[in-house]
């Protein structure tokens, strides 16, 4: 098979300079048995199915994970056992490595010997041993087992998936609950390491969720949030975000463990832990959203956050945030405007309505619905300023377009109600072009 300057395209990761020798060649011929039948690329980790056909591990695993139950080349049906049995082809791999060495002068790099992926039985065994060590209070052994899991996870995404699917999340959650029950900061380092691995363990299963939602676990994460270790704060936020996504009821339990949690969350949003990484900001906003929409403490949390200045911070985020962060910030703002105090604070800020109108149809479908919901809440108040300001900013025309292109039923109802409400003030807005759609108000949307 002819491999037409495949390696010349590999400029990513700094390889371009190392393989510049290929520029002097017209083509580079590669033996056919070195090529993966699926991707037609040089195999890096050749493995063989029960049908005798060799593929690159990554491509055949992707094929099987997509639900395919046949061998791509022979179309022969594969049993469940056969799909799970993927045998490394060491002979082909060594031949490929030898070929790479022979063509080193052409800029071809030797493919490194791949690590053998972790197996389900290995994961189950290490998880059981780690839980046993935790129950005995043996933090040293537990740390050793955790380090092995971390190493496996760093090797490949496949390993991470295998660990998640074979009890890794539940085991780590159980260990976290046990060691968080000790007084003081005796096991702070171990708990911090457990949190860092738990960030990629979700979903953790029902048992793991209950362990992380236990009072001792929540109290420990609250302690990290109010601390000064930035990496621990970041990991605690990510774990809490995932936990509350599974069950919002833990929001009240978290607040009961530490009344300073809202302020810690606000600080993480106002001054991002890592400005270049938006993960923490999104996690903080998500946790805030779950707390302000929870009962019965939601109103208290909103009041505390408003006093801290959350409205201004949210609007600053909306100015230039990416779509993902912007949508979450809009959800928080919409939640805040569910209370009278929140609506008053939002109406009194000069940027609230301009940004809400501007973001309609500029973020996402969900973002548009959140904008409409928040504007509806502001305009439904007794103060007519919000409706008039929305008119002046062109909200009427945008709402008409939203109805024309389609939206959810709830958004549709609110948009229609807003249009009728704004129609009451149309004569008081000089800059509004009445030809843009008032005549369509009587039509059913």
Strands 28-29, 46-48: pairing kind: unpaired
Residues of the chain with CATH 1.25.10.10: 120-354
Q: What is the pLDDT along the chain (445 residues), one digit of tens a residue?
A: 444 334 433 333 333 333 333 443 346 788 999 999 999 999 999 999 999 999 999 899 889 988 899 999 999 999 877 777 789 999 999 999 999 999 888 888 888 888 888 988 999 999 999 999 999 999 999 999 999 999 999 988 889 999 999 999 999 999 999 999 986 578 999 999 999 999 999 999 999 999 999 999 999 999 999 998 999 999 999 999 999 999 999 999 999 888 899 999 999 999 887 777 788 999 999 999 999 999 888 999 999 999 999 999 999 999 988 999 999 999 999 999 999 999 999 999 999 999 999 999 999 999 999 999 999 999 987 668 899 999 999 999 999 999 998 888 889 999 999 999 998 888 777 655 444 444 433 333 3
Distance of alpha carbon 381 from alpha carbon 375, whole angstroms: 10
For 126-143, b/e burial (b = at least 16 CB within 10 A) is bbebbbebbeeeebeebb
The answer to whether 410 touches 368, Cβ cutoff 8 Å, is no
The answer to whether 437 touches 403, Cβ cutoff 8 Å, is no
The answer to whether 381 touches 353, Cβ cutoff 8 Å, is no
- Closest by CA to 170, choosing from 195, 196, 205, is 205
- What pTM did the predictor assign? 0.79
Residues of the chain with CATH 3.30.40.10: 2-106
What are the start-end ranges of the H helices in 348-408?
A: 352-359, 365-379, 385-392, 395-405
Give the list of residues 6+ apart from residue 208 with CB closer than 8 angstroms, or none.
169, 170, 172, 173, 174, 201
Peptide bond just before 389 cis, omega within 30 deg: no
Read off the tokens for 54.
């060799």
> How many beta carbons lie within 10 A of that of residue 196, not counting itself?
18
Query: Tokens 């997509």 appear where?
Result: 66
The answer regarding whether domain 120-354 maps to CATH 1.25.10.10 reads yes
So what CATH class is 2-106? alpha beta
Distance of alpha carbon 143 from alpha carbon 188, whole angstroms: 12
Is residue 78 helix, strand or coil?
Answer: coil
Distance of alpha carbon 418 from alpha carbon 409, whole angstroms: 14
What are the start-end ranges of the H helices in 309-364?
A: 310-320, 323-336, 340-347, 352-359
């Amino acid at each position: 098979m002819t491999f037409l300057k495949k390696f010349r395209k590999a400029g990513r990761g700094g390889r371009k300079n190392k393989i510049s020798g290929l520029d002097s060649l017209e083509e580079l011929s590669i033996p056919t048995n070195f090529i993966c039948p699926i991707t037609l690329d040089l195999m890096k980790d050749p493995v063989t199915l029960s049908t005798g056909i060799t593929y690159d591990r990554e491509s055949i695993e992707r094929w099987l994970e997509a639900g395919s139950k046949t061998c791509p080349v022979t179309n022969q049906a594969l049993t469940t056992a056969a799909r799970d049995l993927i045998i490394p082809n060491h002979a082909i791999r060594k031949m490929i490595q030898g070929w790479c060495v022979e063509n080193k002068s052409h800029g071809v790099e030797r493919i490194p010997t791949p690590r053998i992926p972790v197996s389900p039985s290995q994961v189950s065994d290490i998880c059981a041993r780690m839980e046993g060590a935790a129950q005995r209070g043996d933090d040293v052994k537990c740390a050793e087992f955790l380090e092995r899991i971390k190493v496996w996870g760093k090797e490949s995404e496949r390993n991470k998936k295998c660990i998640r699917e074979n009890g890794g999340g539940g085991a780590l959650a159980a260990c976290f609950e046990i060691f968080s029950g000790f007084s003081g900061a005796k096991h702070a380092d171990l708990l911090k390491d457990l949190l860092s691995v738990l960030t990629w363990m979700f979903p953790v299963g029902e048992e793991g969720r209950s362990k992380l939602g236990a009072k001792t676990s929540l109290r420990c994460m609250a302690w990290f949030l109010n601390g000064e270790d930035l990496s621990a704060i970041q990991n605690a936020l990510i774990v809490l975000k995932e936990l509350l996504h599974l069950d919002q009821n833990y929001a009240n339990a978290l607040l009961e463990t530490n009344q300073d949690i809202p302020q810690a969350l606000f600080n993480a949003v106002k001054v991002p832990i890592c400005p270049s990484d938006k993960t923490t900001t999104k996690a903080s906003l998500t946790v805030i959203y779950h707390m302000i929409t929870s009962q019965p403490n939601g109103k208290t949390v909103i009041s505390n956050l408003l006093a801290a200045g959350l409205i201004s911070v949210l609007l600053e985020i909306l100015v230039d945030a990416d779509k993902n962060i912007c949508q979450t910030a809009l959800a928080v703002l919409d939640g805040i405007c569910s209370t009278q105090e929140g609506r008053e604070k939002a109406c009194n800020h000069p940027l609230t309505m301009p940004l809400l109108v501007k973001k309609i149809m500029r973020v996402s479908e969900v973002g548009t619905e959140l904008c409409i919901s928040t504007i509806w809440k502001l305009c439904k108040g007794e103060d007519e300023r919000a409706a008039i300001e929305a008119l002046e900013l062109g909200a009427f025309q945008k709402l008409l377009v939203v109805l024309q292109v389609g939206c959810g039923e709830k958004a549709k109802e609110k948009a229609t109600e807003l249009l009728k409400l704004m129609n009451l003030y149309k004569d008081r807005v000089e800059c509004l072009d009445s030809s843009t759609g008032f005549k369509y108000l009587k039509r059913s949307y």
